[in-house]
Amino acid sequence: MLVVPVLTAGVALRLNFTGDPGDGTRTRGRDAIWLGHAWVDGRKKDADLAAFAARIKGTGIKDLYVHAGPLEHDGTLPDSSYPRAHWVVDAVHRTMPSSDAAISRAYPCRRAARSMPRMIWSE
């Protein structure tokens, strides 16, 4: 019996987020998006970035946050987790000059997120 209310709520939430955005939906021109680990581990290439740039053109997305974690148990982030971080930052600046890319760690808790700075590469 407990399943029915939970299922009903899930369906209602899903239906609420379908269709076109409403008239009151707008951008401030400085929106952001999180990108997955594939952008820094070598799976994404120039063609992927070109397709992504075309997809977000005109959306107001200017800031890109790229997942580079997770952290090890001792709180470190091994270099092997983000071998192509410099490539993605350089490629974003070349392909989408009005965008900024930040390589961000995945934090296990808010306390760690406050105490450890986001890694940002810029030339």
Residue 100's pLDDT is what?
Answer: 67
- Give 15-65 pLDDT, tens digit per residue: 777 777 676 677 777 788 888 889 888 899 999 999 999 998 888 888 888
Alpha carbons 121 and 100: distance in angstroms, whole number = 10
Q: Is the dihedral of CA 73, 77, 78, 81 positive or negative?
A: positive
The pLDDT of residue 1 is 67
Q: How many CB atoms lie within 10 A of CB 95?
A: 14
Q: Give me the pLDDT at residue 45, please.
A: 94
What strands lie across the sheet with 61-67, from one edge to the other? 31-35, 61-67, 100-104
User: Looking at the whole model, is its pTM more than 0.85?
Assistant: no
